[in-house]
């Protein structure tokens, strides 16, 4: 037990803080009976003043690099005799730790890190902090604080440290003078608006989300608090490491840390609450006091302020200490993963894996004893809230009625006002337009120099009381007033002149409801103002972007750098569009036509710079006469831009999936609109771009285990190819048919895959040649289909021939060559598992040099190796291999490759020791449940697991 006294914890505070922030943690750790007094605590204090003293010009605020050097001195001198260290940091303290680790590697002192057994980062601003960024940049005293400078988004020094830590510590393969493996866990706060949880967790494979905001995350209420439990688990693990078994326990494998993945925020968007809400008091009071319904639907046309009302409800709930979850329905799947993961951590269930299903969500919500509010925003496609083919009113999907007697509520915003859509258990509230007096209040508050209250009332009435139109008008007038010159409509500078210009230009006497037309009119006036200011390509650019999906648009990735005039749609003899798109987007954002999200980083432009268009503006421009008259030109350019990004990012490589997650919604939407739902197309170049984009998108969806959307996309394009002038035998359609064969394999239908791929091979051989790379790809999948049917003798010579050809056509270590070599090894393993194991180890050595260790194909190779080891009777090695692969994979238990690994691990454990059949039975039942939901009851993998479960059940009963 003496060794258990040697664990020392160093606590590192954040910006403008001190060691006192750790007092609650210290009290809980020292009082924890399970730790048995075996932990010693050390505060690492450093100066972090808010202001540099004006009275002491001889003093300066230390930089992060200086603080990291101070930490080195403290660890190497004052704690030199300590054998085992754990570093726990908060906020900026995490940047200090990363800088210290990076400096050790840069100076060849990595071996000094051997006694650091674990690092825990709470709320570490890995991508900087956007919180109050514009204010911080404008506030002079902040510029005098070099520590705050490290919080600039994607600061260069921070990126350098992170790059070194990731390569030389997190992903280190061995321990040397410049590399050393140290486990690092990063935790974000569920309610943190200063450093959002996604920016904390995305960088490190071992991560999690715990309850709390930026400050309360390190102020645990008691020993059950998730943040305390995270540190406690770490210390318990470090204390028991010297007694740990050589093989990872199955329970630990199931509870593997969550894998880094693209995530979304589920916090209410605070920036949208910048202005006072007017004219909604009665509606708000009715919503809050309604006890007859626990689900409320705010309905009405776009632009009425439904989301703004929901936001006000969310913030009022937060002020009353409710848990609040905000879900943007267009990205509902990623949002639900974030919520479920956070709830599991909060309820102490972080070791169960993230089961992203409606049942799992509602089990967790119903288990909460704290009041909560769940908001579904922009649920215009209501079917996203329900299972396929099931009405929302049935309440069996993401949208359900909270349990009676509980303290949970749900709010939905949608254009669908039909009560039958939602069911009697939902209270449907139609959001009205603002009354003229309320609209006048909005205008007067936002444009105080615009005129009298009566003039504002008249203009509000003319704008139809639509909040979107009122805000756009206010931005227009403020822009004109600020510039000191009139707008393009002569003399437009106040409420009266704006009203007169609106009447002159857009008067309609047909008595119809002109709300949408009024919005279009406001947008048109704003675009004309930008034209007068030299941004004449703004209308064309906004109309082009409106042809994309409503999801966030990665504009930097799509548009690249350079003048817009390089695109024919923007070319002009006058050179009016001979400008960069940046100022144009700034102009559009200034007038409220788009919302920009920017992170200044030359290395992360694709993911850090996005824009969104309000749904009503999006709809208005997409259906505008300018787009209808030049539809092919607009959609052809969208396809070209998307296809250029797609071709540069191999969809099979996991490192590219973050980019693919951004462009895939646009690729699917634009391709469908251009080829399937729109008029027949004769522009062959645009059609070819669309088909190639669809093929690459399908590959990404298949590789990331999202098979159903891939199947829907491919089938619609293949079946309808005659509509756009192609046949199933054309080269472009053969690419889609190849993906159709792959989908059949993923669906567990190898016979269908064999037939489809055989036909594709015949056509590709005729068009391209037998050893063309496309033909080789189909030959490989065809051989794989044969192997899946147990036709090993037929598949083996085919695969050997393909491997030989791939060495020549591509290269011995090309990605596709390695995939074929894996398929060959699988077939060889049937008769000679020892030879196959050697082949697989060689494949893994190459894959580890070139690709991520958590890539699905790499995991699949390790699974095949574990299977070979079982057949060779090396059961301990098989358990180690499968368990190690699952640990690398992270918390993605329902991914295809991971489910296969889980099954193989169970086989290895059963072969090694059949005594713990109860534990294996539980793991197999969990696997079977996942396979049924993801793969279906008829899939061969599901059937195989079902048979093993039945076998164990029979053995247990016998």
- Which residues are CB-neighbours of 859 under 8 A, at least 6 positions away? 885, 888, 889, 897, 898, 901
Q: What is the pLDDT of residue 777?
A: 95
Continuous H helices in 747-791: 750-768, 773-788
Confidence of residue 263 (pLDDT cuts 50, 70, 90): low
Confidence of residue 345 (pLDDT cuts 50, 70, 90): confident
Q: What is the pLDDT of residue 330?
A: 79
| Lowest-pLDDT range of 260-269, 512-521, 525-534 | 512-521
- Which residues are CB-neighbours of 907 under 8 A, at least 6 positions away? 867, 870, 878, 948
Torsion sign across C-alpha atoms 344, 350, 351, 355: positive
What is the CATH code of the structural domain delimited by 270-430?
3.40.50.300
Q: Is the pLDDT of residue 956 over 60?
A: no
Confidence of residue 9 (pLDDT cuts 50, 70, 90): very high
Distance, CA of 682 to chain centre: 37
For 71, the token pair is 């930490």
Q: What is the pLDDT of residue 716?
A: 92
Q: What is the pLDDT of residue 599?
A: 59
Fold of 2-244: Rossmann fold (3.40.50)
Q: Is the pLDDT of residue 133 over 50?
A: no
Task: Give the best-scoring range by mean pLDDT among 8-17, 460-469, 509-518.
Answer: 8-17
| Lowest-pLDDT range of 254-268, 563-577, 735-749, 907-921 | 254-268
Q: Is the pLDDT of residue 297 over 60?
A: yes
Residue 569 C-beta-side C-alpha neighbours within 13 Å: 24
| Lowest-pLDDT range of 153-167, 587-601, 929-943 | 153-167
Confidence of residue 932 (pLDDT cuts 50, 70, 90): confident
Q: What is the pLDDT of residue 458?
A: 92
Confidence of residue 116 (pLDDT cuts 50, 70, 90): very high
Q: Where in the chain is the domain with CATH 1.25.40.10?
A: 864-958
Is residue 315 within 8 Å of residue 277, measured between CB atoms? no
Give the whole-angstrom CA distance, residue 881 versus residue 833.
15
Across the range 833-845, mean pLDDT stands at 96
Across the range 896-919, mean pLDDT stands at 89
For residue 614, how many other CB atoms are within 10 A of its CB?
21
Name which of 776, 770, 763 is nearest 737 in CA terms. 763
For 953, the token pair is 């059940």
Q: What is the pLDDT of residue 18?
A: 86
Q: Where in the chain is the domain with CATH 3.40.50.1820?
A: 2-244
For 229, the token pair is 């439990």
Name which of 791, 792, 738 is nearest 763 in CA terms. 738
Confidence of residue 119 (pLDDT cuts 50, 70, 90): very high
Name which of 373, 701, 893 is nearest 905 in CA terms. 893
Give the whole-angstrom CA distance, residue 381 versus residue 388.
12
Give the whole-angstrom CA distance, residue 792 versus residue 796.
6
Q: What is the pLDDT of residue 147?
A: 45
**What value, to the nearest 5°, has the Cα angle with vertex 245 and ends 244 and 248?**
100
Q: Tell me: the pLDDT tens digits for 878-888?
A: 999 999 999 99
Strand partners for 44 = 12
Give the whole-angstrom CA distance, residue 471 versus residue 793.
71
Give the whole-angstrom CA distance, residue 418 versus residue 398.
19
Is residue 498 within 8 Å of residue 470, measured between CB atoms? no
Long-range contacts at 875-878 (CB < 8 A, ≥ 24 apart): 875/908, 875/911, 875/912, 876/246, 876/247, 876/912, 878/904, 878/907, 878/908, 878/911, 878/912
Distance, CA of 100 to chain centre: 30
- Which residues are CB-neighbours of 405 under 8 A, at least 6 positions away? none
Q: Tell me: the pLDDT tens digits for 369-422?
A: 889 999 999 888 888 899 878 899 999 999 999 998 888 999 999 888 888 899
Q: What is the pLDDT of residue 132?
A: 35
- Which residues are CB-neighbours of 620 under 8 A, at least 6 positions away? 516, 519, 520, 523
String of b and e for 586-600 (b: at least 16 CB within 10 Å)? Answer: ebbebbbbbbeebbe
Q: Is the pLDDT of residue 613 over 90?
A: no
Long-range contacts at 478-485 (CB < 8 A, ≥ 24 apart): 478/446, 478/447, 479/529, 479/590, 479/591, 480/529, 481/447, 481/449, 481/450
For residue 173, how many other CB atoms are within 10 A of its CB?
10
Q: Where in the chain is the domain with CATH 3.40.50.300?
A: 270-430
Continuous H helices in 872-939: 875-889, 896-912, 917-934
What are the backbone angles phi and psi of residue 882, rounded to the nearest 5°? -65, -45
Q: Is the pLDDT of residue 248 over 70?
A: no
Q: Tell me: the pLDDT tens digits for 694-710?
A: 999 999 999 887 888 89
Mean residue pLDDT of the chain comes to: 83
Q: Is the pLDDT of residue 926 over 60?
A: yes
Confidence of residue 185 (pLDDT cuts 50, 70, 90): very high
- Which residues are CB-neighbours of 452 under 8 A, at least 6 positions away? 495
Residue with structure tokens 């754990």?
A: 86
DSSP state of 401: P
More confident residue, 918 or 516: 918
Is residue 466 within 8 Å of residue 515, measured between CB atoms? yes
Which H helix or E strand runs over 438?
A: helix 436-446
Long-range contacts at 319-323 (CB < 8 A, ≥ 24 apart): 320/371, 321/370, 321/371, 322/370, 322/371, 322/372, 322/373, 323/190, 323/211, 323/368, 323/370, 323/371, 323/372, 323/373
Q: Is the pLDDT of residue 293 over 90?
A: yes
Confidence of residue 143 (pLDDT cuts 50, 70, 90): very low
Q: Tell me: the pLDDT tens digits for 351-374?
A: 556 678 899 999 999 988 889 999
Q: What is the pLDDT of residue 157?
A: 63
Name which of 387, 313, 399 is nearest 361 in CA terms. 399
Residue with structure tokens 């290269």?
A: 811
CA distances (Å), 81 to each of 39, 180, 897, in order?
Answer: 15, 20, 45
Across the range 712-741, mean pLDDT stands at 94
Counting Cβ atoms within 10 Å, is residue 882 exposed (0-12), middle (13-18) or buried (19+)?
buried
Task: Give the best-scoring range by mean pLDDT among 237-241, 349-353, 451-455, 659-663.
Answer: 451-455
Give the whole-angstrom CA distance, residue 443 versus residue 276.
12
DSSP state of 397: S
Fold of 864-958: 1.25.40
- Which residues are CB-neighbours of 841 under 8 A, at least 6 positions away? 865
Q: What is the pLDDT of residue 617?
A: 78
Across the range 127-136, mean pLDDT stands at 43
Q: Write the Ramachandran bin of 386: left for phi over 0, alpha for psi from -120 to 50, otherwise beta.
A: beta
Percent of the chain with pLDDT over 70: 84
Is residue 132 within 8 Å of residue 580, measured between CB atoms? no
Is residue 116 within 8 Å of residue 182, measured between CB atoms? yes
Q: What is the dihedral of CA 739, 740, 745, 747, to 10 degrees?
A: 120
DSSP helix/strand/coil, 376: strand
String of b and e for 793-804 (b: at least 16 CB within 10 Å)? Answer: eebbebbeebbe
Confidence of residue 852 (pLDDT cuts 50, 70, 90): confident
| Lowest-pLDDT range of 295-299, 462-466, 710-714, 947-951 | 462-466
Is residue 67 within 8 Å of residue 77, measured between CB atoms? no
Confidence of residue 243 (pLDDT cuts 50, 70, 90): very low
Across the range 526-555, mean pLDDT stands at 86
For 471, the token pair is 């805000």
Is residue 155 within 8 Å of residue 128, measured between CB atoms? yes
For residue 209, how many other CB atoms are within 10 A of its CB?
28
What are the backbone angles phi and psi of residue 300, rounded to the nearest 5°? 145, 175
Percent of the chain with pLDDT over 90: 42
Residue with structure tokens 């960024």?
A: 133
| Lowest-pLDDT range of 115-129, 491-505, 848-862 | 491-505
Across the range 119-147, mean pLDDT stands at 56
Q: What is the largest CA-CA distance in the chain?
A: 93
Residue with structure tokens 């726990």?
A: 88
CA distances (Å), 866 to each of 692, 724, 825, 834, in order?
Answer: 37, 48, 13, 11
Q: Is the pLDDT of residue 261 over 80?
A: no
Q: Is the pLDDT of residue 145 over 60?
A: no
Is residue 931 within 8 Å of residue 899, measured between CB atoms? yes
Q: Write the Ramachandran bin of 355: left for phi over 0, alpha for psi from -120 to 50, otherwise beta.
A: beta
Q: What is the pLDDT of residue 144?
A: 45
DSSP helix/strand/coil, 501: helix
Q: Tell me: the pLDDT tens digits for 28-71?
A: 888 887 786 788 899 998 887 654 443 344 455 788 888 999 99
Q: Tell me: the pLDDT tens digits for 204-224?
A: 767 788 888 888 999 998 888
């Amino acid at each position: 037990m003496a060794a258990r006294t040697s664990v020392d914890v160093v606590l590192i505070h954040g910006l403008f803080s001190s060691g006192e922030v750790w007092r609650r943690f210290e009290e809980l750790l020292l009082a924890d009976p399970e730790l048995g007094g075996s932990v010693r605590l050390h505060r690492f204090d450093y100066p972090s003043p808010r202001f540099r003293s004006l009275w002491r010009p001889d003093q300066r605020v230390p930089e992060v690099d200086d603080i990291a050097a101070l930490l080195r001195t403290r660890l190497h001198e004052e704690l030199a005799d300590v054998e085992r260290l754990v570093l726990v940091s908060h906020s900026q303290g995490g940047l200090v730790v990363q800088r210290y680790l990076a400096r050790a590697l840069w100076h060849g002192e990595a071996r000094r890190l051997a006694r650091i057994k674990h690092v825990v980062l709470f709320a570490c601003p890995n991508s900087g902090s956007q919180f109050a960024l514009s204010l911080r940049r404008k506030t002079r005293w902040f510029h005098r604080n070099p520590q705050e400078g490290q919080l600039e988004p994607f600061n260069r020094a921070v990126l350098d440290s992170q790059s070194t830590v990731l390569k030389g510590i997190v992903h280190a393969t061995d321990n040397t003078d410049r590399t050393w493996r140290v486990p690092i866990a990063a935790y974000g706060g569920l309610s943190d608006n200063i450093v959002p949880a996604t920016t904390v967790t995305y960088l490190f494979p071992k991560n999690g989300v715990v309850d709390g905001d930026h400050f309360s995350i390190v102020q645990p209420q008691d020993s059950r608090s998730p943040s305390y439990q995270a540190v406690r688990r770490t210390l318990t693990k470090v204390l028991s490491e010297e007694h740990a078994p050589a093989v990872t326990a199955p329970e630990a494998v199931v509870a593997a840390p969550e894998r880094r993945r693209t995530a979304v925020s589920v916090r209410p968007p605070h920036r949208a609450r910048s202005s006072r809400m007017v004219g909604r008091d009665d509606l708000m009071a009715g919503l809050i006091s309604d006890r007859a319904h626990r689900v409320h639907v705010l309905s009405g046309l776009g632009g009425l302020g439904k989301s703004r009302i929901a936001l006000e409800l969310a913030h009022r709930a937060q002020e009353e200490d409710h848990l609040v979850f905000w879900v943007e329905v267009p990205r509902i799947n990623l949002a639900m993963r974030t919520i479920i993961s956070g709830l599991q951590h909060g309820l102490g269930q972080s070791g169960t894996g993230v089961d992203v299903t409606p049942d799992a969500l509602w089990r967790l919500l119903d288990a909460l004893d704290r009041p909560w509010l769940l908001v579904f925003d922009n649920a215009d496609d209501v079917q996203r809230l329900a299972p396929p083919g099931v009405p929302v009113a049935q309440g069996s999907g993401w949208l359900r009625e909270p349990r009676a007697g509980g303290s949970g509520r749900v709010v939905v915003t949608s254009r669908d006002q039909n009560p039958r859509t939602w069911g009697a258990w939902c209270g449907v509230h139609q959001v009205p337009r603002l009354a003229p007096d309320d609209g006048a209040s909005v205008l007067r508050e936002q444009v105080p120099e615009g005129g009298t209250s009566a003039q504002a009332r008249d203009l509000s009435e003319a704008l139809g009381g639509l909040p979107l139109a009122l805000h756009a008008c206010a931005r227009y007038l403020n822009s004109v007033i600020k510039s000191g010159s009139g707008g393009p409509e002569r003399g437009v500078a106040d409420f009266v002149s704006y009203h007169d210009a609106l009447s002159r230009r857009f008067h309609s006497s047909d008595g119809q409801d002109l709300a949408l037309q009024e919005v279009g009119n406001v947008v048109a006036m704003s675009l004309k103002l930008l034209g007068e200011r030299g941004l004449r390509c703004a209308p064309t650019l906004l109309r082009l972007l409106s042809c994309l999906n409503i999801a966030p648009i990665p504009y930097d990735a799509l548009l690249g750098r350079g003048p817009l005039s390089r695109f024919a749609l923007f070319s002009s003899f006058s050179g009016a569009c001979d400008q960069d798109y940046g100022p144009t987007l700034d102009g559009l954002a200034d007038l409220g036509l788009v919302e920009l999200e920017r992170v200044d980083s030359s290395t992360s432009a694709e993911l850090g710079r996005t824009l969104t268009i309000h749904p009503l503006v999006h709809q208005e421009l997409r259906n505008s006469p300018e787009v209808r008259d030049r539809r092919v030109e607009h959609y052809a350019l969208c396809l070209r831009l998307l296809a250029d990004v797609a071709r540069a990012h191999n969809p099979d490589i996991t490192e590219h999936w973050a980019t693919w997650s951004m462009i895939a919604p646009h690729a699917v939407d634009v391709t469908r609109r251009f080829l399937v739902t729109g008029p027949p197309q004769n522009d062959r170049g645009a059609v070819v771009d669309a088909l190639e984009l669809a093929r690459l998108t399908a590959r990404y969806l298949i590789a990331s285990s999202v098979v159903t959307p891939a199947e829907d996309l491919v089938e619609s394009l293949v079946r309808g190819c005659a509509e756009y002038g192609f046949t199933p035998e054309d080269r472009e359609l053969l690419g889609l048919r190849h993906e159709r064969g792959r989908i059949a394999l993923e669906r567990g239908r190898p016979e269908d895959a064999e037939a489809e791929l055989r036909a594709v091979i015949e056509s590709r051989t005729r068009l391209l040649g037998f050893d063309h790379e496309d033909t080789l790809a189909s030959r490989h999948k065809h051989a794989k289909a044969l192997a899946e049917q147990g036709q090993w003798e037929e598949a083996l010579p085919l695969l050997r021939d393909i491997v030989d050809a791939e060495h020549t056509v591509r290269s011995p270590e090309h990605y596709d060559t390695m995939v074929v070599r894996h398929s060959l090894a699988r077939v060889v393993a049937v008769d000679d598992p020892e030879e196959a194991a050697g082949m697989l180890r060689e494949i893994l050595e190459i894959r580890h040099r070139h690709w991520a260790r958590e890539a699905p194909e790499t995991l699949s190779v390790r699974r095949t190796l574990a299977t070979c080891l079982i057949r060779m009777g090396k059961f301990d090695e098989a358990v180690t291999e499968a368990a190690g692969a699952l640990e690398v994979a992270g918390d993605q238990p329902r991914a295809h490759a991971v489910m296969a690994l889980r099954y193989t691990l169970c086989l290895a454990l059963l072969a090694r020791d059949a005594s713990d059949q109860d534990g294996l039975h539980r793991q197999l039942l969990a696997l079977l449940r996942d396979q049924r939901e993801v793969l279906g009851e008829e899939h061969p993998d599901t059937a195989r697991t079902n048979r093993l479960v039945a076998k164990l059940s029979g053995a247990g009963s016998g």
